[in-house]
Structure 1
Amino acid sequence: MKYILLAYTSREGWDSVDYSSPEFLEMCRFYEDLGKELAATGELVSTEGLGEPAFTRTVRRRDGVPVAVDGPYAEAKEVLASFSIVDVASHDRAMEIAARVCAAIGDSIEVRPLPEAPPGV
């Protein structure tokens, strides 16, 4: 079963990251090692870090017409930092991977199944 793991970080952490700090470099090593491990087991489908949240836009329907609106908003406490898609044997395995990321990095990880077909089909 495929799952998407959505990693959220604090807006403050995003804005203040020092890309040359030992902590950031250790985080990069963790993600690189985890990616290699999951690729070796055949569980990694895809993973990507996301760009600056200030450039994010959301398309919503207003008066029947799609309109791009700004987002995320300044009051947001967390921003979506990255996502990974894994293909694992069980929900427990997806939760195990998410817990490892949370323990190592501190980000909140949302785990959502990616069903192969709509419910009831």
Structure 2
Amino acid sequence: MKYLCLVYLDAEHWNACPDADCADYARELADSGRMLAAEPLHGTHTATTVRVRNGQVRLFDGPFAETREMLAGFYLVDAKDLNEAIRIAAGIPPARHGSVEVRPVRELQVAPVAQKR
């Protein structure tokens, strides 16, 4: 099953974990066949939030949520269950400085696309 591990850090700890530590852990997960994707994000000052209401698109600078910790990156992993996903998340180096939210990935429920001839 796929799980998304969302890494959150506050501004004070944004750069506390060296990229090399994260790359080493990602390589370890990839070697075990559990890594599907992982990427760090730029700081929230680069974010744009998009909202559509009544057909109108509105843009906001930065993240919409008011929170101390900000989304810093993610790991998309393949784990047999939630317990294994939690063990993987506990090994993510920035977890020592912030938090990691673990969420199962839900498959979209859509009809198959018909092939054009």
Q: Same fold (TM over 0.5)?
A: yes
Give the ranges of 4+ consecutive aligned residues of structure 1 lying more than 6 Å apart after TM superposition: none
1:102 deviation in Å? 6.2
Q: How many percent of aligned residue pairs carry the same amino acid?
A: 38
Q: Structure 1 pair 35/112, CA: closer, same or farther in 2 (3 Å)?
A: same
Q: Deviations over 1:22-59 (max 9, x none)?
A: x64xx333312211211111000000000121110111
Distance (Å, rounded) in 2 between the aligned partners of 1:34 and 1:58: 30
- The answer to whether 1:2 aligns with 2:6 is no
TM-score by length of 1: 0.76
TM-score using structure 2 length:
0.78
Are the counterparts in 2 of residues 44 and 85 from structure 1 also a CA contact under 8 Å? yes
- The DSSP-based 3-state class of the residue aligned with 1:67 is strand
The equivalent residue for 2:34 is: 43
Q: What is the alpha-carbon root mean square deviation over aligned residues?
A: 2.3
**CA separation in 2, counterparts of 1:90 and 1:73?**
31
1:101, CA displacement in angstroms?
Answer: 2.2
The CA deviation at 1:111 is 0.5
Cα-to-partner distance string for 1:73-106 (whole Å, 9 max, x where unaligned): 6953111101110011111110011122268632
**2: CA distance, partners of 1:103 / 1:73:** 23
Structure 1: runs of 5+ lacking an equivalent: 18-22
Equivalent residues in 2 for 1:83-102, closer than 5 Å: 83-101=74-92
- Residue in 2 aligned with 1:12? 12
In the alignment, is residue 28 of structure 1 matched against residue 22 of structure 2?
no
* Structure 2 alignment gaps of length 5 or more: 110-117
**Corresponding pairs, count:** 109
